[in-house]
Structure 1
Amino acid sequence: MSSSSRRPARRAALTARSSYDESLVDAELESYLGNARSRRISRLRRLSADERQRETETEALIALSLGFPIDELLPAERPLLPAPVAAAPNDYIVVRNHILASWRADPRVPLPRSRVQETVAASYDNLVAVAHGFLAREGHINFGVSAAFPASPPPDAPQRLAASVLVVGAGLAGLAAARQLLRFGLRVLVLEGRARPGGRVYTTHLGGDQAAVELGGSVITGIHANPLGVLARQLGIPLHKVRDSCPLYHHDGRTVDMKLDRSMDLVFNTLLEHATRLREYLKKAAEGISLGEGIERLRRFYKVAKSVEEREVLDWHLANLEFSNAGCLSELSLAHWDQDDQYEMGGDHCFLAGGNARLVHALCDGVPVLYEKTVKRIEHGEDGVSITVEGGQVFKADMALCTAPLGVLKSRSIIFEPELPERKLEAIQRLGFGLLNKVAMVFPHVFWDEEIDTFGCLNKERSKRGEFFLFYSYHTVSGGAVLIALVAGEAALEFEKVDPAVALHRVLGILKGIYGPKGVTVPDPIQSCCTRWGSDPLCSGSYSHIRVGSSGTDYDILAESVNDRLFFAGEATNRAYPATMHGALLSGLREASKILHASESRLNSDYKKYALQKSIRLINNVLDDLFMEPDLECGRFSFVFSYITPEEEQAPGLARITLEKPLLLPSKKRKVKGNQKDQDPVAEKIDQEVFYLYATVSQEQATELLECDNDKSRIAVLCKDLGVKLMGYDSTYDVCSHLISSISRAQKARKRLQGPKSLKTGL
């Protein structure tokens, strides 16, 4: 996966600190915001209006850094809110941002809803419940790998009839999804084709197992709001900032003149800016032009980089761009290649001490994984899914999550039955899946400059501009003198055919050319390794990019599920963060939420079918039991609450509105076709049943309703003034299952405390 930003830039300034804990990022953010927040925010303490406003603004900026709009709802949040709140959502957004900031303050431990409620006014309890539930289900809070987040449901989690899920692939996406699903209470099994977890994140150990070497995804790109940084913080793993200094060398070992370097850096960035203007001018015509063609046209038009040395330095920058996108510039779409720039995470790029495998193994803890199970066939239908692995073994489940890399989907090595929708197949073919290769070397000692993490080398031939163009030093985090040479663009494709011994000889020749004239002896490496990601049938490449003819929409299409049975995750399904490790992990959390929702919807649907077969009664027994002895009654309204003592005025509860038979009988004017005897007896029985509507209210709100003159006025106050949404059985069961349990427990507790005395207040 990408080890750089999508639009890389080599900055000249060195920072004073190069190694730090992820928690210090929060301090830096707070310093930038100019407000040192306490570890535990209390909205109940006495603050001036200015202090409260400043705190709200600080939390909004933290939410913004986490990818949330600063003053808007996410599309997925709007349906969860009553219409009046959704129309004027400021209070909800403040509560949501407060929860995000509270979680960010210490993500090593869970943030329960009760703790949030301690820090906000009781009048916001309903908003806290909605926001906290949404953020937890979607994987924005309360996720991770510390001991506080085991791969199992919390003790207080509601009991569910657990659906079964097969996860294809034990990479970051698959493991994140599996871990989250296990916490949701579902049954999960991961099928992995390799003999190890991690997928394209692969940390091996060379030099007598002393040095950790990253052969796949290596750099955490942008530490602010990055979930990988959260995992590192939970595990107490320090991060090393990739320092900005990156000297360039000619192929003969000479240092590139600083003036020339800065000049071509400016030319490169100016060409990219003009490429943006060019596509805006061309509009639809830009869809068929590659970024490489656009840049070359502009270079010729402005007559820049004309000398040999200038062109070699510019080619180095273009190779760096190809590295960032795992693709040749001749393939990248001029119109859409950088569509994800707006989402790019802020902060420094970092190495993880000891290698990214530490995160992978932490994600694996408690997750059932079967290795060397290469998936060959996925059958999906109304009855569930069936997955066949190499050798003929078959696994069955209710649902499946496919995290196979885009390269595998392109190769059609997995057969889907029935075939995937045409729309998805076309997106798979349109998107690009490129290549990045590496030569990893462990030396007896560090012979290069220990104060830098990267250095570059120019190439004479344009077609080879990406061959060993950039070196990464991992001596600060790997436990050994590790140096990795990158191969990008066209050179990465040719590299797959080169003998490893020949490749190593070329790399050592470059290093000796750079350091020999300085009087430095370059030793032979203790051990080396060359990657061949393009030849690996379990990935067939490195990471995705937007090819000519494609767009960011294709990432969204790849993320679409099929009939709520077959789901897809992976970096190539994440429009905002493609080609990144954190993009893969976030896609897994996203799909876990979707799978949970599908499981609950199917469970509710199955329950309704079962209930209709046994009886036409539409009211759940549990709700009937709750309202056998309501706490308050008036007209068609009855109320039950979750309080232990009536003094708890803000205790949440349920209101039930009874719609009697005369309101539901068919009109006398209704015409019935054919003989009345042929009318559906089930429909006739439904006509004669009593129906109920439900709403969540506090005891204080119920008291206000009781003061109304009639039921019509009560409904008007409930819906318009209080902004409460009426729900049928389905929605009540979905949204209020936790509240129903709380009310039931409270009723039992009151009976124990008060004996036979009734709490019912009839009005």
Structure 2
Amino acid sequence: TPSVTRTVHTQRIRAMSTDTKETRTETKPDDPETQPNLDLPAEEPLGKLTADDENDVVSDASATETDISLSPSQSEQNPEEDGRNSLDDQSPLTELQSQPLPPPPPPLPPPVTETRVSESLGEEESSDLVMEQQSQNPNAPEPNPRARKRRRRKRFFTEVNSNPAFSRNRRTSVGKEVDSEALIAMSVGFPVNSLTEEEIEANVVSIIGGKDQANYIVVRNHIIALWRSNVSNWLTRDHALESIRAEHKNLVDTAYNFLLEHGYINFGLAPVIKEAKLRSFDGVEPPNVVVVGAGLAGLVAARQLLSMGFRVLVLEGRDRPGGRVKTRKMKGGDGVEAMADVGGSVLTGINGNPLGVLARQLGLPLHKVRDICPLYLPSGELVDVGIDSKIEASFNKLLDRVCKLRQSMIEENKSVDVPLGEALETFRLVYGVAEDQQERMLLDWHLANLEYANATLLGNLSMAYWDQDDPYEMGGDHCFIPGGNEIFVHALAENLPIFYGNTVESIRYGSNGVLVYTGDKEFHCDMALCTVPLGVLKKGAIEFHPELPQKKNEAIQRLGYGLLNKVAMLFPHNFWGEEIDTFGRLTEDSNTRGEFFLFYSYSSVSGGPLLVALVAGDAAEKFETLSPTDSVKRVLQILRGIYHPKGIVVPDPVQALCSRWGQDKFSYGSYSYVAVGSSGDDYDILAESVGDGRVFFAGEATNRQYPATMHGAFLSGMREAANILRVARRRISSSASNPNQTCIDKEEEPEKEEEAMKEEEEEEEEEEDSCLEQLFETPDLSFGNFSVLFTPNSDEPESMSLLRVRIQMEEKLESGVWLYGLVTRKQAFELSELDGDELRIEYLREKLGLIPVERKSLSQEGESMISSLKAARLNRQIFD
């Protein structure tokens, strides 16, 4: 793998963390109960200090990807020849204390495979399409002569002109277009010339490796690229077919259906996409699903399931959505305020990132995280550039030596695993790296950065598999979202039936469905999706009956779940400068190397002079035992040590927040990592459903390719929505009546069957109306002819409410007709304050764009809301 550059380490937005992990260029640069206004000594007023109220700052998890790769840096200086071994020696060191290594997991298909002419297309006159692209791996073996042979590409896209010269030019153009589309699909996670496991399971082609597969891949890539060119529109099947020959319509249908149902196209928050509904259960009672957790994975899955036609209810223990993605508003005197991401913060790689799609749909500007990160000595002086370059290069070579050791163990079939930290320290001692104080401080900074990337001590990381997800990292810039990631969260949560304050305690599952228990409430559903963090599963906070399979329980315990904390400080003004987004500081004590080792400036995106200090490794755990007051004093001491020698006054912050993710009972940590004895296989095991498709699992710790990232959580929610749809269809199909008998009945007695169905529908409608009438007997808010039912257990202004209004109509003068709609809690109170029902109706239509409808015309979100209200009101209620 390529060596670490002097730019920021590819920042992994660890699902819970908030900043980018950095590798730096040249001088480069949460949560228990809130405790406002802590008493501080009068001589040291620090402004408002709070420990973030839920302990749910998932540390700065938007950490940059550990692109700290394992080959030597180009800029490294040769070590002094003092008789020691050289880091450039090729022989790996193997005498390390080790423990049994988990069986090597079967390799996943890499996102970029060696592209070559497909051997399965037969003779050139029979091939419809041959994709010929250069391998992107510079070390790839030379292709064999047959693979190098250029084959004729038959016309796949519609020809416009039959002139030979024009056709030649067009074929060249089409070839470039196909290659370009393949790169776009590749950025989304699709291999260039093979199928994903999901596609194979979906049987997108009848023969793996055949001509249809090659053609399907081009069609698939074309559809992805077509939608990605305008993510605010709904891509129709007909539009996808426009540029493809009619004879390949079946491939378009297959690819379109797969991409649509698995959330690769037509997803997100654009108005036309939010309003679209798929007809997944025509003529069949749609299954109901309880989603446990309203973090990114849960929100995405719930929204996708609703669009598919499922009835959905979300249970969330917190009083807000977002989970480990959280934005806090900070403010002080003189109008100074800022939005602080105390959880997931950085979009780590914008190419192919679904969060980048959401940003485009919402019209949000992106701020590229600049890769200048100055490093400061404890004295406040800048680190010498020469020494900095030397140690960074040595650090990269140490990682390179570890990589070679790992490779040699694999080649010699040695089933052992050792802690990454132990291997690095052994090589450091053997090769005499960083022996003077300043060099050691610099090396410790890089090691702290690596602990930040993985949310744990290096001694906990598996040397064999700690970086198993590196080949899949998203490309492109790492970016901040102005205003914070709560913009995504609130947009995703809008109109979803979420029950806040409902902590799930147990889940029972069996052949007849699932029961989800929250205190004294019981929710019955066809299927449940568990999206709680790995830390909650490790604690056993949710009981499963029957118990989870042994294989899954063992994977839960093997995988690591780490901690990263931070201090967010709002200052009266920016004293550190507008030209940088990050800076670091060194410490003389290796045991505290992760204590406030990296600072992030959010001034350019938060709305105010906001500075965030990160706490990683061992320091992150000790940090949670300190008071917020002491923590902020320590940060200020460090900042003043850097800036006072320069004549810059560091003021007290007007407000400060300290995260406590390890104490947060809804997360018990920040994000996952591959611990010693674990492997990437454990992520896959966590993702497996149990109970023959009754309970499913999503979240960053179920995503092998993108663990510990916000986009990993997002993609896992999409994945499980598709899996739930597949199982629901299978279950409906297997329980259907004999189709032949049904046909005979319809042919012999069509009128009787139609009458029976009509009577059954009328009975169901009467039962529904009766239940709804009972619900509105005790409304939460009533004014004029309006009455409102709020989302239970939530005081959030943006939580959804079911509104009912009685409208007098000429044909029903006596009783009028009841109409329904969904509004937020805040909007309901605004309506109640208006004078008269006529003004309220006008306000609904003109200001809110809402036209109340009859019960039978209520949207799927409305139906889910009614089901949720019945479940809450009746305490033990089965969905309709």
Give the shorter-chain TM-score range: 0.7 to 0.9
Is residue 10 from structure 1 mapped to residue 29 from structure 2 by the alignment? no
Letter of the 1:140 counterpart: Y
Q: Deviations over 1:183-206 (max 9, x none)?
A: 000000000000010000010100
Distance 2:283 2:478 in 1: 42
Give 2:394's match in structure 1, choosing from 248, 264, 267: 267
Distance 2:504 2:203 in 1: 38
Q: 2:532, 2:699 within 8 Å by CA — same for their partners in 1?
A: yes
Q: Deviations over 1:93-130 (max 9, x none)?
A: 11111001101101111111111111211111110000
Give the deviation of 1:150 after TM superposition: 1.8
Residues 14, 132 of structure 1: CA spacing in aligned structure 2 closer, same or farther, 3 A cutoff?
farther
Q: Deviations over 1:578-609 (max 9, x none)?
A: 000000000000000000111111111111xx
Which residues in structure 2 correspond to 1:37-56 (within 5 Å)?
Answer: 43=158, 45-46=160-161, 48-56=170-178
Give 1:510's match in structure 2, choosing from 634, 638, 641: 638
Which residues in structure 2 correspond to 1:456-467 (within 5 Å)?
Answer: 456-467=584-595
Which position in structure 1 is the counterpart of 2:477? 348
Which position in structure 1 is the counterpart of 2:50? none
Give 1:219's match in structure 2, choosing from 341, 346, 357: 346
Residues 432, 148 of structure 1: CA spacing in aligned structure 2 closer, same or farther, 3 A cutoff?
same
The range that moved more, 41-50 or 265-274, is 41-50
Structure 1: gaps (5+ residues): 16-32, 34-40, 626-763
Q: 1:176, 1:588 within 8 Å by CA — same for their partners in 2?
A: yes
Give the deviation of 1:11 after TM superposition: 3.0
Distance 2:462 2:746 in 1: 57
Is residue 198 from structure 1 mapped to residue 300 from structure 2 by the alignment? no
Which position in structure 2 is the counterpart of 1:573? 702
Distance 2:390 2:355 in 1: 35
Give the deviation of 1:76 after TM superposition: 2.7
Name the SS for the 1:77 alignment partner: helix
Is residue 248 from structure 1 mapped to residue 385 from structure 2 by the alignment? no
Q: 2:237, 2:252 within 8 Å by CA — same for their partners in 1?
A: yes
Residues 606, 553 of structure 1: CA spacing in aligned structure 2 closer, same or farther, 3 A cutoff?
same
Aligned-pair identity in percent equals: 52
Q: 1:203, 1:355 within 8 Å by CA — same for their partners in 2?
A: yes
TM-score computed with the length of structure 1 as normaliser: 0.75
Which position in structure 1 is the counterpart of 2:231? 107
Name the SS for the 2:434 alignment partner: coil
Q: 1:85, 1:92 within 8 Å by CA — same for their partners in 2?
A: no
Distance 1:67 1:620 in 2: 48
The range that moved more, 309-318 or 200-209, is 200-209
Distance 1:624 1:254 in 2: 93
Distance 2:159 2:263 in 1: 27
Give the deviation of 1:7 after TM superposition: 7.8
Which residues in structure 2 correspond to 1:582-731 (within 5 Å)?
Answer: 582-607=711-736, 610-611=737-738, 617=741
Distance 1:521 1:219 in 2: 29
Is residue 535 from structure 1 mapped to residue 663 from structure 2 by the alignment? yes
Give the deviation of 1:151 after TM superposition: 6.4
Letter of the 1:217 counterpart: G
Which position in structure 2 is the counterpart of 1:397? 525
Q: 2:322, 2:486 within 8 Å by CA — same for their partners in 1?
A: yes
Distance 2:160 2:712 in 1: 38
The range that moved more, 251-260 or 556-565, is 251-260
Letter of the 1:406 counterpart: L
Distance 2:159 2:347 in 1: 38
Distance 2:575 2:415 in 1: 47
Q: 2:27, 2:375 within 8 Å by CA — same for their partners in 1?
A: no
The range that moved more, 337-346 or 249-258, is 249-258
Which position in structure 2 is the counterpart of 1:522? 650
* Number of residue equivalences: 596
Give the deviation of 1:14 after TM superposition: 9.2
Give 1:186's match in structure 2, choosing from 306, 310, 313: 310
Is residue 302 from structure 1 mapped to residue 316 from structure 2 by the alignment? no
Give the deviation of 1:12 after TM superposition: 4.0
Which position in structure 1 is the counterpart of 2:409? 282
Q: Deviations over 1:23-80 (max 9, x none)?
A: xxxxxxxxxx9xxxxxxx9855556211111111111111111111111122332352
Which position in structure 2 is the counterpart of 1:59? 181
Is residue 476 from structure 1 mapped to residue 604 from structure 2 by the alignment? yes
Q: 1:195, 1:371 within 8 Å by CA — same for their partners in 2?
A: yes
Give 2:355's match in structure 1, choosing from 205, 228, 247: 228
Distance 1:488 1:66 in 2: 31
Give the deviation of 1:617 after TM superposition: 3.7
Residues 54, 74 of structure 1: CA spacing in aligned structure 2 closer, same or farther, 3 A cutoff?
same
Q: 1:137, 1:593 within 8 Å by CA — same for their partners in 2?
A: yes
Q: 1:333, 1:550 within 8 Å by CA — same for their partners in 2?
A: yes
Is residue 93 from structure 1 mapped to residue 220 from structure 2 by the alignment? no
Which position in structure 1 is the counterpart of 2:194? 72
Give 1:239's match in structure 2, choosing from 342, 348, 366: 366
Letter of the 2:399 counterpart: L
Q: Deviations over 1:263-292 (max 9, x none)?
A: 111111111111111111233557430000
Which position in structure 2 is the counterpart of 1:83? 206
Q: 1:465, 1:491 within 8 Å by CA — same for their partners in 2?
A: yes
Name the SS for the 1:385 alignment partner: strand
Q: 2:280, 2:308 within 8 Å by CA — same for their partners in 1?
A: no
Which position in structure 1 is the counterpart of 2:295? 171
Distance 2:27 2:208 in 1: 48
Which position in structure 1 is the counterpart of 2:271? 147
Distance 2:398 2:745 in 1: 69
The range that moved more, 266-275 or 532-541, is 266-275
Letter of the 2:458 counterpart: L
Which residues in structure 2 correspond to 1:313-332 (within 5 Å)?
Answer: 313-332=442-461
Give the deviation of 1:91 after TM superposition: 1.2
Distance 2:281 2:159 in 1: 28
Name the SS for the 1:94 alignment partner: helix
Letter of the 2:535 counterpart: G
Distance 1:262 1:478 in 2: 32
Distance 1:156 1:379 in 2: 27
Give the deviation of 1:618 after TM superposition: 8.3
Distance 2:746 2:218 in 1: 35
Give 1:485's match in structure 2, choosing from 610, 613, 620: 613
Distance 1:358 1:620 in 2: 55
Distance 1:203 1:332 in 2: 30
Give the deviation of 1:344 after TM superposition: 0.7
Distance 1:526 1:429 in 2: 42
Structure 2: gaps (5+ residues): 1-12, 30-133, 135-155, 162-166, 750-880
Q: Deviations over 1:216-247 (max 9, x none)?
A: 11111111000000001100011100000000
Is residue 453 from structure 1 mapped to residue 581 from structure 2 by the alignment? yes
Name the SS for the 1:76 alignment partner: helix
Give the deviation of 1:82 after TM superposition: 4.6
Q: 2:204, 2:255 within 8 Å by CA — same for their partners in 1?
A: no
Distance 2:194 2:670 in 1: 36
Give the deviation of 1:131 after TM superposition: 0.2
Name the SS for the 1:205 alignment partner: strand
Which position in structure 1 is the counterpart of 2:141? none
Is residue 376 from structure 1 mapped to residue 500 from structure 2 by the alignment? no
Distance 2:710 2:744 in 1: 45
Q: Deviations over 1:438-460 (max 9, x none)?
A: 00000111110211000001111
Which position in structure 2 is the counterpart of 1:123? 247
Letter of the 1:259 counterpart: G
Name the SS for the 1:306 alignment partner: coil
Q: Report 1 or 2 for greater relative contact order, CA contacts < 8 Å, sequence distance ≥ 6.
A: 2
Q: 1:160, 1:185 within 8 Å by CA — same for their partners in 2?
A: no
Give the deviation of 1:8 after TM superposition: 4.7
Name the SS for the 1:525 alignment partner: coil
Name the SS for the 2:613 alignment partner: strand
